[in-house]
Amino acid sequence: MKILSVNAGSSSLKFQMYEMPEEKVLISGVFEKIGMAESFYTIKINGEKVKKMALLDNHTDAVKILIEELLSNNVITSLDEIKGVGHRVVHGGSKYSSSIIINEDVIDTIESLSSLAPLHNPANLMGIRAFMKELPSAISVAVFDTAFHQTMPEESFIYALPYEWYTKNGIRRYGFHGISHDYLTETLKKELDNDKPNLITCHLGNGASISAIKDGVCFDTSLGFSPNSGLMMGTRSGDIDCAIIPYIMKEENLSLNEVMNILNKKSGYLGVSGISNDSRDIEAAADQGNERAKLSQVLFVNRIVEYIAKYYVKLGHVDAICFAGGIGENSMATREAVMNKLAALGVKIDNDANNVRGEFKLISASDSKIPVYIIPTDEEVMIARDTYNFI
């Protein structure tokens, strides 16, 4: 059975097609600069990657070209072969604790939650509408980034604010990157042969979050009401003192929108280093002696360690810790720095094992009190699995 996994952004459309239940990737790609000049797309099939320029006025144009590529590359011979399309949707609010088949009511709900994710939900809906128009016979499934975290108890998701702000306005910790944390949890359940493990899962990339998994389900997570919370990230500040906002507005004569833009797009690695939001650039500059790059790296590592230590205490015991995401899977230096600072918890690194990028591997020493893994995350396959299960 052929299933498409889709992640639609405001100007992009990523996809992978699977043969299910084998989970074999048949074709993948991304359409970029949709609605802009010089739009293009990249297709990867049979180990070859091809880039093509194309006029992409909207997401429907991208879907039409995608279908043409599927047919011309003999991935399908008929549109009826595509039985399902799974869509990543960033925000499902408190309503959706699992994936759901998309109908007009679901679309209306996703749209109503756009105020909670104004940069993401409207873009996700563009992809949903485009595929439902071009592939009306395929079942469409919404897979929510927030759903995995809906198992959190009230003590974990409530802020110390007037309680009515939660009941009336929906202000609470929602958590994000849930599809990734779900994948990491399921992978470690199999690895540890334990259906109810206590875990700390670290999704570390340009966007980053850490989750505490208790008895096999999410108990707490670092991302909160918005994706700009918790850890320091590529361009996002993470947790800050809220009094900074009105203070800097007055001092620098900035509007609220300008300050929020800075906190989301000009802070984090980029803001502290003044160089880049890419951890690879930061590490290279730090190795060359750039003090602000060194500071950026230390701040990032310290915030990770703080959350792991906090969750360790909350959980009581931890069966495993894992690193995932672009930084977690590929930065040996970041993993080493984090693990060395966790020595008080009995964590010990195997430096030879840690000398690897993008591979599933146990990287803790044999006498480490907590095993630590690298797990290349796979959000696309989680979307495909949920879609397949509905069908």
pLDDT per position as a tens digit, 122-174:
989 999 999 999 999 999 999 999 999 999 999 999 999 999 999 999 999 99
Domain boundary among 108, 126, 144: 144
Domain span at residue 212?
194-379
9 and 139, same domain (yes or no) = yes
Residue 391: inside a domain, yes or no? no
120 and 200, same domain (yes or no) = no
Q: Residue 221 in contact with residue 239, Cβ under 8 Å?
A: no
358 and 226, same domain (yes or no) = yes
Average pLDDT value for the chain: 96
Nearby residues of 45 by Cβ (< 8 Å), 6 or more positions away: 26, 27, 28, 73, 75
Does the structure show a pLDDT above 90 at 11? Answer: no
223 and 316, same domain (yes or no) = yes
Quick one: how far is CA 384 from the chain centroid?
Answer: 16
* Dihedral-angle region of residue 210 (phi above 0 means left; psi in -120 to 50 means alpha; beta otherwise): beta
Active-site pick, 61, 145, 220, 378? 145
Distance, CA of 323 to CA of 203 (rounded, Å): 6
Alpha carbon dihedral 363, 366, 188, 345, in 10-degree steps, equals -90
Domain boundary among 144, 166, 182: 144
Residue 309: inside a domain, yes or no? yes
Q: Is 319 a catalytic residue?
A: no
Does the structure show a pLDDT above 90 at 371? Answer: yes
116 and 200, same domain (yes or no) = no
Residue 70: inside a domain, yes or no? yes
Count of domains for the chain:
2
pLDDT at 51: 95
Residue 179: inside a domain, yes or no? no
116 and 213, same domain (yes or no) = no
100 and 200, same domain (yes or no) = no
pLDDT per position as a tens digit, 289-325:
999 999 999 999 999 999 999 999 999 999 999 999 9
Distance, CA of 308 to CA of 116 (rounded, Å): 27
214 and 140, same domain (yes or no) = no
Residue 285: inside a domain, yes or no? yes
CATH number for 107: 3.30.420.40
121 and 56, same domain (yes or no) = yes
Does the structure show a pLDDT above 90 at 120? Answer: no
* Spatial CA neighbour of 197 closest among 206, 184, 210: 184
Q: What is the rounded average pLDDT of the residues 15-27?
A: 97
pLDDT at 170: 93
114 and 221, same domain (yes or no) = no
248 and 332, same domain (yes or no) = yes
Domain boundary among 144, 163, 184: 144
Q: What is the rounded average pLDDT of the residues 372-391?
A: 96
Residue 51: inside a domain, yes or no? yes
Q: What is the rounded average pLDDT of the residues 37-66?
A: 94
Residue 170: inside a domain, yes or no? no
Distance, CA of 120 to CA of 263 (rounded, Å): 17
258 and 136, same domain (yes or no) = no
pLDDT per position as a tens digit, 243-293:
999 999 999 999 999 999 999 999 999 999 999 999 999 999 999 999 999
Alpha carbon dihedral 66, 61, 142, 12, in 10-degree steps, equals 90
Q: Tell me what percent of the residues of the chain surpass a pLDDT of 70.
A: 100
Q: What is the pTM of this model?
A: 0.94
Burial of 242 (0-12, 13-18, 19+ CB in 10 A): exposed
Residue 164: inside a domain, yes or no? no
